[in-house]
Amino acid sequence: MYKPFLEHLESELFNRFDLCDRAIPAGLEYKVSDRGKNPATIQSWCYKCPELRKIRYTYIDAGASAQILNSVIYPSHHYDLPLLGVDFLSFGKVKNLVVLDFQPLFQDEAYQRQYIEPLQSLHAKYPDLAQGLEMKFYDANQYFSKYLLFAKTDAETVATRLFAAFKDYLNLYWQLLDEAKPLTDPEDIQRIVKAQKDYDQYSAERDPASGLFSSYFGHEWAERFLYEFLFEDAMPLA
């Protein structure tokens, strides 16, 4: 279901950046579930390049019962750019939930003007994908922009509209990255280090997928996946 998205993301990354592999801790890059009736696999990829310090994406393939593409791109600490966040989920034919956003590190007005307002026209182009759904796990005012795409939709819309939106959002993200001026003041850079780390902490603690990882792959593996790979700069709660 989301394989074309994964392929597009991958080809964009490889065409635009000089990528190096970024290590995924042993045992976390690939796993097959031995639970349940439908075999589920989870596979992850991770890269870095001078502009982007962590590019990760994960595909869960549980056949007809679940297809998920999740990705976060973390810019270098020299850029105060938002993170690119992708979370596309399909559970059978019954539920397709898609989220795509430039995830802001800060919520002040100057930041919004610089990095979030440019999204406005794209957001306006995809009203069918911007449904203003309520969030239950996350606070919509922290690490989400007001121009996120967030929708419950059908497979046809995923294949057509979401694919177009995905290309548009990615292109704009590359453009903002291209225009970004690297920070040079160590204090400014430290502020980004802290903000990206806070994002990991916040996300690890609230990740709505943690139950899903546990049910497919076991609790121990799920905890490692969250704290050693997805949100590796977060500290596990004691």
Based on CB atoms, which residue is closest to ligand BLA, 116 or 212? 212
Q: How far apart are alpha carbons 88 and 98 in whole angstroms?
A: 4
Stretch that binds ligand BLA, among 26-34, 46-54, 66-74, 182-190 (CB under 6 A): 66-74
Per-residue DSSP letters for 59-104?
A: EEE-TTS-EEEEEEEEE-TT--PPEEEEEEEEETTTEEEEEEEEE-
Nearest of 140, 181, 149 to residue 167 by alpha carbon: 149
Record the tokens describing residue 107, joined without a space: 């919520």
Let me know the angle formed at the C-alpha of 101 by 116 and 161, rounded to the nearest 5 degrees.
Answer: 115
Beta bridge partners of 75: 52
Nearest of 71, 54, 59 to residue 20 by alpha carbon: 54
Q: How far apart are alpha carbons 220 and 228 in whole angstroms?
A: 12
Binding mask 126-155 for ligand BLA (x = CB under 6 A): ---------xxxx-----------x-----
Record the tokens describing residue 229, joined without a space: 């790979």
Stretch that binds ligand BLA, among 8-16, 80-88, 123-131, 183-191 (CB under 6 A): 80-88
99 part of the interface to ligand BLA, by CB under 6 A: yes
Binding mask 166-205 for ligand BLA (x = CB under 6 A): ----------------------------------------
40 part of the interface to ligand BLA, by CB under 6 A: no
Stretch that binds ligand BLA, among 46-54, 73-81, 109-117, 206-214 (CB under 6 A): 206-214
- Give the sign of the dihedral formed by CA 125, CA 116, CA 113, CA 135: positive
Shortest distance in whole angstroms from residue 44 CB to ligand BLA? 8
Q: How far apart are alpha carbons 45 and 6 in whole angstroms?
A: 10
Q: Which of 73, 119, 176, 230 binds ligand BLA (CB under 6 A)?
A: 230
72 part of the interface to ligand BLA, by CB under 6 A: yes
Contact 144, 134 (CB under 8 A): no
Q: Which residues contact 142 (CB under 8 A, 6 or more apart)?
A: 107, 202
85 part of the interface to ligand BLA, by CB under 6 A: yes
Helix (H, G, I), strand (E, B) or coil at 121: helix
Q: Which of 40, 52, 62, 89 binds ligand BLA (CB under 6 A)?
A: 89
- Tell me how many residues contact ligand BLA (CB under 6 A): 24
Stretch that binds ligand BLA, among 2-10, 19-27, 92-100, 187-195 (CB under 6 A): 92-100
Give the residues lining the site for ligand BLA (CB under 6 A). 58, 60, 68, 70, 72, 85-87, 89, 97, 99-101, 103, 135-138, 150, 207-209, 212, 230
